[in-house]
Structure 1
Amino acid sequence: MRLENFKRNVKYIVDKNSKRRSESDHLVGLNNFADMSNEEFSQVHTSKIKMPFNQQNKTAISANSCVAPPSKDWRKHGVVTEVKNQGACGCCWAFSACGAIEGINALVTGELISLSTQELVNCDTTNKGCEGGLMDPAFKFVINNRGIDSAADYPYTESRGTCSYNKLNKKAVTIDGYQDVAQDESALLCAVARQPVSVGIDGKGLDFQLYAGVTR
């Protein structure tokens, strides 16, 4: 079955890349998901639940409210941690929330600290651990808990376990609020120009499974 999945995905990669119209179109390619069917990939690596998203903190940012640079790579500013792998635990929401908190903390304090996604997976009962979740409840959890531990002290295990109240009481970073960005590209442009942001996307598509980037 793995071989058949691989052959099918290779054919898709060749066909898809041959239809690129410009260098700005994305590429697909072989990666560690290339021997999985799209159904298996979706089951293992994406959220298994649907949760309503009520934007209670929506901003009114528009393209006219900021002067955005032609490009922005927050890695070059030292406010983004290394790429992380959630493995077979569907907790992208926790990685996304931690990434945004890491970024704003680094901008404010000058210190980049990798934060504990495991604390969110184990202790945030509003979300569903490895079964899926959303970033807004994760931000609220960190605010209500008055902080979150570091990844070094409370490391990721790729599974949901019992909440460690000893770790829960350790605060590597704190936040006192968050804002949702209005759902349009101009608002997102302004938000990203100011700081790293947390986003949620539909990652079930085959192009996402086999995504290989963009060449310019």
Structure 2
Amino acid sequence: MTSAVPPHSVPGADAALGARTGARTRSTAGGTGARRSLGAALLLGAVGAAVALLATRQGWASGTAFVPGGTYPVSAKGSDVTGVPAALAIVGLAALVAVFAVRRSGRLLVSALLALSGAGTIAAALIGAGDSAALDEKAAEVWSGGAAGVSDLSHTAWPYVAAVGGALILVAGLLALRYGSGWPAMSGRYERDGTPRPRKAPTVDPDRPEDIWKALDRGEDPTG
């Protein structure tokens, strides 16, 4: 009487089983990492854009303008100093959404744009942190007779808050560059070439007359 051969006695069985188990473990770990990176990128990108936009609406600098007849306090918002951080924050937010609308090389390019938007926001915010040109323009508006001197200059921390928002956008872009290839994409009815996706033909049950008649109405051979 022939007995069954134990699995462990077959040459290579243990190695094959270990390879399959390792592949399943790596696949599960990769899927978990992709989901976590996706959530982190969405959160960081959205929060970073919101923080940068909020910071540009706050006061970045203030001072005292000397005009004939006395002094006049002047202040400048972030949008008065530079409009680059707000513009790049909006670009970054749009790129964050566009990441899920494209695939392959397109996703790589959009992810790079997202990261560059964050880096540009940081640079523009730090450059504008010590800028006083906006205050000079405000002082000139106070006195129409010409330029007015500005003293007692002070700067707030809001430019650095905008830079933090840019850093969050930058991290979101780096996550998209690293893990974006494993993220899901928006599903569409049509492929890229505009051709409708083929539909699966309905199953015809030969024991049901109504299925046969429906197949004949569609021009199909129910006996095929």
TM-score, normalisation: structure 1 = 0.20
TM-score, normalisation: structure 2 = 0.19
Which one has a larger percent strand, Structure 1 or Structure 2? 2
